[in-house]
Structure 1
Amino acid sequence: MEYAPDEVGSMYRTLSGAVVPRPIAWVSSTSADGVDNLAPYSFFNVVSVEPPTVMFSPLDTDERSKDTTRNVRETEEFVVNVVTGESVEAMNETSATLRADESEFEHAGVTRVESERVRPPRVAESPVNFECSLYDTLRVGDSVLVVGEVEYVHVDDALAPDGELDVRELDAVGRLAGSFYSYTRDRFSLERPP
């Protein structure tokens, strides 16, 4: 199978099926009116270490604007919560389509915890949380790239027995395509060449 992007209706299945597994940003935000929102985004990654920045990219058109995007634009704050095997079902529940005045925290039975530096709450069920201020946005086609500077980090002590996050202790979940996800439990190590 070979084709140019303009020869097919959408590249979504190819991109989301080949770029796997993708980490999931479980983004909590708060509207200007004080309504907390929680939604997962699998177009997510690290941007830079200095300054520490992360990005996620939601669909954002006139017909399909996300509450998260609007909240981040209005308040310039959000929290990225890491999804694990224990929280994956709740994360899936927060992808339901709710009215803007309804909170996914209540809908999915997710526990709020007050953040240290930003207004949006973090997810208690997540062992790693990045409190972020808006660094910049960039429109890319029908999506918007949201870049956040990490202002404060929470890591469950069980994941950092020696004072640094040990990836072997983090039961992160990644997004594949369609309704498929993956665990990061099956790991291997390769030494980087000099």
Structure 2
Amino acid sequence: MSLPPFDQSTRTTFTETPNPSWAYGQKTDSTAAGAKWMEGEKGGWKVINTAEEDRLKLYTLMISGIVPRPIAFVSTISESGVENLAPFSWFNMVTNHPPIVSFACSNVPAGLKDTAHNVKNSQGFTVNIISEPFVEQANATAIDTPPEVSEWAFSGLTKASSIHVKAPRVKESAFSMECELFQSIDIVHPDTGEQSSTLVLAHVKYIHIRNDVLNERGLVDIAKFKPVSRLGDISYARVGDAFRIPRPSWQQEKDKFAELAHTAGNL
């Protein structure tokens, strides 16, 4: 299949929300777009019993539906000094106090992946965020190399010294975190007893941010940062149009909710 070239000129822009006139209590199908979306329900539902589904089919289904997923680009170092670099899309922030992020490493037939093994050795590790300009290089590190082979050399990426941990940062990453292991949780299947993966809770000790991706408030500017995410199968995505929706405040909105409840006959 022939694909158009990547559009280097495309930038993230902010737009209105999909339905800026929406009001509390308004049904989804009250707009043309919402009605079209709800029309799809007439085609019925497919229901899957996860206990009976083939594990590979379940994996491919879940990664296609739980999207987009941010990517943790994790740099670790083994006890013998081999530097490992690998991406993980089962990744997110857990809390800011203490600053904790999480990522999960699926086991391989031989046991733990190199990353899961290395994070337990008390040398520390880094979690780097991937941006568009080096996504091919990052993807190359997903190769199933043996433990004694480092992915750094053939990735073409550059090591940058860390302050607190032994493992290097990815210099090309505009947002990198130096981490210590906070907790490692073995995920064990409740029926078979098989350890399928390792959930890593990482304590962020230092954050390195390139000044050119920050806005005037000192926050990361998504349009300059150009992060990528994982979708299903082997697909990635960039951040397209973005929109902002203020978080509602009960103190400000409680009279509207009371009116809705009264109209619905609940008061």
TM-score interval for Structure 1 and Structure 2 normalised by the shorter chain: over 0.9
1:94 is matched with 141
Separation in 2, partners of 1:100, 1:140 = 22
Are 1:36 and 2:63 an aligned pair?
no
Instruction: Give RMSD over aligned pairs.
Output: 1.3
Separation in 2, partners of 1:155, 1:107 = 25
Which of these residues, 81, 92, 97, is aligned with residue 50 of structure 1?
A: 97
Deviation at 1:166, TM superposition (A): 2.5
After superposition, residues 147-158 of structure 1 pair within 5 angstroms as 147-158=201-212
8 A contact 2:123–2:165 mirrored in 1: no
2:54 is matched with 9
Are 1:167 and 2:167 an aligned pair?
no
Identity of aligned residues (%): 35
Structure 2 residue runs without a partner (length 5+): 1-45, 189-195, 250-267
Are 1:138 and 2:185 an aligned pair?
yes
Instruction: Provide, for residues 72-124 of structure 1, a one-character-per-residue CA deviation record: whole Å limited to 9, x for no partner.
Output: 11235110000110111001100111121111110211100000110000001
Structure richer in helix, relative to its length: 2
Structure richer in strand, relative to its length: 1
8 A contact 1:171–1:185 mirrored in 2: no
Separation in 2, partners of 1:91, 1:186 = 24
More displaced 10-residue stretch of structure 1: 72-81 or 128-137:
72-81
Which of these residues, 228, 242, 247, is aligned with residue 192 of structure 1?
A: 247
1:79 is matched with 126
Provide TM-score, normalisation by structure 1: 0.95
**Aligned residue type for 2:50:** P
Deviation at 1:168, TM superposition (A): 3.5
1:19 is matched with 66
Deviation above 3 Å: which 4+ runs of structure 1?
A: none
Q: 1:40 to 1:114 in 2, by over 3 A?
A: same
1:183 is matched with 238
8 A contact 1:30–1:75 mirrored in 2: no
8 A contact 1:37–1:104 mirrored in 2: yes
SS of the equivalent of 1:151 reads strand
8 A contact 1:138–1:144 mirrored in 2: yes
SS of the equivalent of 1:125 reads coil
8 A contact 1:32–1:75 mirrored in 2: no
**Aligned residue type for 1:99:** P
